[in-house]
Amino acid sequence: MKLDANSLRYMSKEEYRTLQALELGQRNHEIVPVPLIDGIAKLRHGGVVNALRGLMRQKLVHHDNQKYDGYRLTSLGYDFLALKALVNRGAVSAVGRQIGVGKESDVFEVLDTKGEAQAVKLHRLGRTSFRAVKAKRDYLQHRTSFSWLYLSRLAAAKEYAFMKALHENGFPVPRPLEHNRHAVLMSLIDATPLCQVQALQDVGRVYNQTMVLLTSLAKRGLVHCDFNEFNILVDEACNITLIDFPQMVSTAHVNAEELFDRDAESVRRFFGSKLGYVSPADPPGFKATLASANQADALDIKLSASGFKQGDQDALDVYMKPQQVHCTSTPSASSSASSVSDSIDEDEGRSLTTGHVGSAQVCDNNPDSPAIGAVVAGPAA
């Protein structure tokens, strides 16, 4: 993916309104017919056609005329809408280099309006798991391409809710700042994923911190489920930070013990094989960990009452664990052209004040990579 500075900086009001109208139209159309986009955007005669032409040039929309003349957002178009909303909220002023390519995300450095570097994670569900993609497609039937955007949005909402609860409760996770659509804005962690570390000054201390973190989460009712060297960052002082929360489950989950043991085992195996460290202590046990937990501290219960609802979780589960989950609810897609037409957010139409968007690069996580200031050329206005 390549973020283009010019599209963020120079998009016309008409193009932006057309992009928003297309997004709304995709709630119940995979390919949105031009008259529907026109009806939602309500631009002067011919405005939408010209705007769509401009959006096509910027690769923010895709034209499809197999069945009828229509358009859909590209992932770049969706990125644009999320980033622009963050800019309009005053949370982001410029987008810089790409710092991470995860299994199902792209992570970029951004600048906030004070000029401080933060991180934005753009979720991209369906990027890697073809089996899951197939299962999901069977389940969602006609709701195909927008469903990917929809699921990415759910993953971001879940990640934000969990990161917020964990951060508020003193866990070593990035500070959540904002989220919009499939994007989560969080503090930038100056640390390296464990998988890229060749040796650690105090490997025993890092191992212990990691296992204490795993058990502390379980005592608060949570299993990370992807607790491994890719999602544990370690800094120069050998302190760890945990990232990547969309797959977390409650300790009440039917497979929680198995998932907890798998997390513990993957850490133990990594420390043994890559760092040559074998702990004298046994890995923590799930039942013993829960036996010492206080129910009143349970975060899983608080989270289930948060903004991230069970129906959203069900939809995500079908994607993440197609073989285990019996889903009872489908995502709601009940908006008509007339009802959505009023909901284009005029606030999102304020002009952008971003600097340049640096060209995206594949993550090398190299500590010698240039700082964001070197990549983001223009100052925020």
Q: How many of the other CB atoms lie within 10 Å of CB of 275? A: 17
In a 3-state reduction of DSSP, which class is residue 72?
strand
C-alpha to C-alpha distance for 121 and 183, rounded to whole angstroms: 5
3-state helix, strand, coil in the chain (%, to 5): 45, 15, 45
Q: Is 229 in the site for ligand ADP (CB under 6 A)?
A: no
Let me know if 312 is a catalytic residue: no
Using the rule CB under 5 A, which residue among 47, 70, 102, 246 binds Mg ion? 102
The gap from C-alpha 349 to its chain's centroid, in whole angstroms, comes to 23
The type of residue at 335 is S
**For Mg ion, which residue has the nearest CB?**
244
Question: DSSP letter at 78?
Answer: H
By CB under 6 A, the residues from 115 to 174 that bind ligand ADP are: 119, 121, 174
Specify the stretch interacting with Mg ion by CB under 5 A; choose among 74-82, 99-107, 136-144, 209-217. 99-107
x/- binding map, residues 340-369, to ligand ADP, per CB under 6 A?
Answer: -------------------------x----
User: Between residues 79 and 244, which has the closer beta carbon with respect to Mg ion?
Assistant: 244
Question: By CB under 6 A, is residue 228 in contact with ligand ADP?
Answer: no
By C-beta, is 320 or 340 nearer to ligand ADP? Answer: 320
Phi-psi region of 22 (alpha: psi -120 to 50; beta: other; left: phi over 0): alpha
Site pattern 79..108 for ligand ADP (x: CB under 6 A) = --------------------xx-xxxx-x-
Tell me the chain's radius of gyration from C-alpha atoms: 22
Q: Does 183 bind ligand ADP (CB under 6 A)?
A: no
Q: Which residue among the candidates 226, 300, 312, 317 is catalytic per the annotation?
A: 226
- Residues 184-213, one symbol each (x = binds ligand ADP by CB under 6 A, - = not), give --x-xx---x--------------------
- Exposure string of 90-100, with b = 16+ CB inside 10 Å and e = fewer, is ebbbbbbbbbb
Report the run of H or E that residue 237 belongs to, with start and end. Answer: none
Q: Please, which of residues 261-300 interact with ligand ADP by CB under 6 A?
A: none
Q: Which residue, 72 or 123, has its beta carbon nearer to ligand ADP? A: 123
Residue number with CB closer to ligand ADP (70 or 100): 100
> Minimal CA–CA distance to 119: which of 95, 102, 103?
95
Q: 188 or 214: whose CB is closer to ligand ADP?
A: 188
Query: H helices within 2-74, ranges in order?
Result: 5-10, 13-25, 34-41, 47-57
The residues binding ligand ADP (CB under 6 A) are: 99-100, 102-105, 107, 119, 121, 174, 186, 188-189, 193, 230-231, 243-244, 365
List, by residue number, the catalytic residues. 226
